[in-house]
């Protein structure tokens, strides 16, 4: 049961993508746009995403357009912008001088605002975005229920043989691991004994949910419900922003989780009191949002472990004709809201170098082997992507510290109408 002819496209480079999340699907569309022969292998029986929000930076949106205009169009078809041109950061914990502890007093002290402008984040429901992208996927590209196990390179044929859990095999010239945070491709690429093959627990958990905008407005008021707001305080923080054309309010609440993560999966049922306990004594607005989340699941909320590659970053993203992209390469905590966006950037870089490799091979004098050309392309990908993406992983951890304490704004200077310099004093170590 070998899958070697199912590829589509006219280029001589056959690319196997492992994993059909946001990054794998975007990668496939970008390569198909460049007439590559693409096959995407997904372990699940269909495409699926979780019921939570995801936001994309302007840069990620530019990369979507360059990768394939279909990807940007898919995102724009389901995305939502802030009503205000600003993102607001508030003290969600302390009672300001004009405020009361009355449960109906939804006021919080504003710490600072960031200018979002007309090109700020676009936010959407993850599943809606994936569904829209998949509409552009031609028949015959995707193979479901294919859980990748390992690969081997045949020196004579200059091709990879991929092996799947069901015993089937497939061949390809290039293998791209887009198989997420627990990437099997990363383990095979870096070695099972390498600590960089596995993500580590960031000692934080997230509680997330999509609240109906009607309920959100009735509870918080129009302004807070329809605009991105970060509620900061001691040891925890909570973010809300509108998605699904302002019909839903996405909520994600982060709480510390000392000790090890002992569950097999990265999602586990939360104790009944866990979320309220993390925000006990906070301002009524935050407690009200916590109440909305609990109402959603009738108190049976899940918590998501935040894992990342902070402790053991991958020493390389590529070797020969194999590479990793998205969370498979650089899983990050989500405090910059940019993990998936970085994966889109990876996909654009990969599509660009592989396109160049294919053209080099087509127009070349045959002096360079396919193997050497592909390896050079992927080495270039590794060189341009590693520093930037690993910065995100580190910076995200640091940013989360500033959001977990009551920060004090020392100065606030608008620069050029777009950017602002904000100096914030945060009472954290270092």
Distances (CA, A) of 67 to 127, 176, 325, 337, 372: 20, 16, 14, 20, 25
Binding residue (CB under 6 A) for ligand FAD from 15, 16, 21, 382: 21
Binding pattern for the stretch 329-358 against ligand FAD, x by CB under 6 A and - elsewhere: -----x--xxxxx-x---------------
Verify binding: residue 252, ligand FAD, rule CB under 6 A: yes
Tell me the two tokens of residue 211: 């609240």
Cβ neighbours of 140 (radius 10 Å): 11
Site for ligand FAD in 293-332 (CB under 6 A): 304, 326-328
Q: 191 by DSSP, 3-state: which?
A: coil
Tokens 């809300």 appear where? 240
Choice among 208, 283, 385, 386 that is catalytic: 208
Number of residues that bind ligand FAD (CB under 6 A): 36
Among 87, 93, 129, 148, binds ligand FAD (CB under 6 A): 148
Name which of 210 and 361 has its Cβ closer to ligand FAD.
210
The helix (H) or strand (E) run that includes residue 54 is strand 53-56
- 145: annotated active-site residue: no
Quote the least distance from Cβ 261 to ligand FAD, whole Å. Answer: 13
The two most distant CA atoms of the chain are separated, in Å, by 78
Smallest gap from Cβ 104 to ligand FAD, in A, equals 29
The yes or no reply on residue 242 touching ligand FAD (CB under 6 A) is no
Q: Count the residues in the chain.
A: 430
In the window 57-116, what residues touch ligand FAD (CB under 6 A)?
A: none
Q: For residue 353, what are its two tokens?
A: 């170098």
SS3 25: helix
Of 23, 75, 350, 358, the residue at the interface with ligand FAD (CB under 6 A) is 23
Residue 44 found at the interface with ligand FAD (CB under 6 A): yes
Q: How many CB atoms lie within 10 A of CB 401?
A: 14
User: Can you spell out the DSSP letters for 118-141?
Assistant: TTS-EEEEHHHHHHHHHTTPPTTS
Contact pattern for ligand FAD over residues 206 through 225, marking x by CB under 6 A = x-x-----------------
Query: Could you tell me the smallest distance in angstroms from the CB atom of residue 239 to ligand FAD?
Result: 9
- Could you give the residue numbers annotated as active site? 208
């Amino acid at each position: 049961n070998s899958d070697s002819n199912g590829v589509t496209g006219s280029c001589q480079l056959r690319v196997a993508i492992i994993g059909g999340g946001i990054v794998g699907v975007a990668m496939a569309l970008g390569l198909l746009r460049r007439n590559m022969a693409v096959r995407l292998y997904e372990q699940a029986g269909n495409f699926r995403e979780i019921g939570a929000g995801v936001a994309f930076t302007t840069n990620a949106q530019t990369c979507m357009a360059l990768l394939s205009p279909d990807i940007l169009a898919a995102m724009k078809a389901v995305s939502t912008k802030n009503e205000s041109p600003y993102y607001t950061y508030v003290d969600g914990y302390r009672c300001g001088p004009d405020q009361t502890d009355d449960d109906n007093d939804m006021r919080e002290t504003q710490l600072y605002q960031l200018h979002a402008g007309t090109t700020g984040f676009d936010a959407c429901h993850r599943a809606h975005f994936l569904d829209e992208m998949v509409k552009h996927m031609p028949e015959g590209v995707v193979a479901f229920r294919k859980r990748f196990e390992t690969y081997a390179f045949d020196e004579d044929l200059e091709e990879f043989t991929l092996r799947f859990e069901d015993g089937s095999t497939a061949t390809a010239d290039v293998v791209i691991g887009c198989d997420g945070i627990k990437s099997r491709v990363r383990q095979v690429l870096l070695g099972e004994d390498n600590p960089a093959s596995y993500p580590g627990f960031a000692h934080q958990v997230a509680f997330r949910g999509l609240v109906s905008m009607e309920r959100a407005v009735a509870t918080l008021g129009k302004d807070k419900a329809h605009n991105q707001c970060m509620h900061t305080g001691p040891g925890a923080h909570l973010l809300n922003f509108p998605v699904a054309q302002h019909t839903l309010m996405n909520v994600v609440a982060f709480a510390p989780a000392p000790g090890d993560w002992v569950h097999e999966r990265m999602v586990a049922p939360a104790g009944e009191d866990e979320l309220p306990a993390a925000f006990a004594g906070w301002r009524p607005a935050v407690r009200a949002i916590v109440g909305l989340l609990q109402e959603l699941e009738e108190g049976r909320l899940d918590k998501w472990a935040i894992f990342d590659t902070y402790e053991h970053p991958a020493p390389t993203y590529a070797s020969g004709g194999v590479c990793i992209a998205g969370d498979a390469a650089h899983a990050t905590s989500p405090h910059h809201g940019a993990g998936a966006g970085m994966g889109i950037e990876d996909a654009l870089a990969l599509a660009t170098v592989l396109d160049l490799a294919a053209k080099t091979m087509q127009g070349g004098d045959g002096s360079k082997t396919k193997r050497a050309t592909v390896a050079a392309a992927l080495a270039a990908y590794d060189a341009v992507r590693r520093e930037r993406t690993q910065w995100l992983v580190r910076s995200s951890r640091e940013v989360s510290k500033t959001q977990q304490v009551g920060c004090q704004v020392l100065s606030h200077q608008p620069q050029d109408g777009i950017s602002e310099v904000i100096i914030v004093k945060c009472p954290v170590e270092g």
